[in-house]
Amino acid sequence: MTISTHPPASPKPQNPGAADPLKQEACIQVVVRFIDGNSVLRYSYDVQHRGKKIYQNVGYWTSLWQKKIEFETPPGWKGRVEAAAIFHSFDGNRGDKICQFERRAGWTWNRHN
């Protein structure tokens, strides 16, 4: 039996149930699925407006991510987006769906929003 003298790769969180600050501050979550089967999860705070932090503005973040998804503007996304969905986010937990994008059908909105 060998004992490692190396420190752990990352320290264990003090409260493992707590969301990290990015997730806590996010008001929406964006899930994007690509044609190769891969998907990414992004939070509203992943992008700042002109270097300023914008908190809890669901309308702003929804319209910003709609444009990014529809026109495939982030690097590496051009011609790869198959589908996406935008959800409310509550302290890092996914809430109700706001809208959904399918390449063939365009945007559909949840009627309860």
Collect all residues with Cβ–Cβ distance below 8 Å to 27 and sequence separation of at least 6: 44, 55, 56, 57, 58, 61, 88, 89
Type of residue at 106: G
Model pTM?
A: 0.72
CB of 19 within 8 A of CB of 92? yes
For residues 44 and 51, what is the distance between their CA atoms, to the nearest angstrom?
14
- 80 lies in a domain? yes
Q: Is the pLDDT of residue 99 over 90?
A: yes
Question: What pLDDT score does 10 carry?
Answer: 40
Of the given ranges (35-44, 46-55, 85-94), which has the lowest mean pLDDT?
A: 46-55
Domain hosting 38: range is 21-109
- 5 lies in a domain? no
Question: What pLDDT score does 15 carry?
Answer: 52
- 84 lies in a domain? yes
Q: Is the pLDDT of residue 20 over 60?
A: yes
Does residue 27 sit in helix, strand or coil? coil
- 88 lies in a domain? yes
- 16 lies in a domain? no
What secondary structure letter does DSSP report for 49? B
Q: Is the pLDDT of residue 13 over 80?
A: no
What does the block give as tokens for 25?
């501050």
- 12 lies in a domain? no
Q: Is the pLDDT of residue 101 over 60?
A: yes
Q: Is the pLDDT of residue 22 over 70?
A: no
Q: What domain count does the chain have?
A: 1
Mean pLDDT in residue range 48-60:
70
- 56 lies in a domain? yes
- 31 lies in a domain? yes
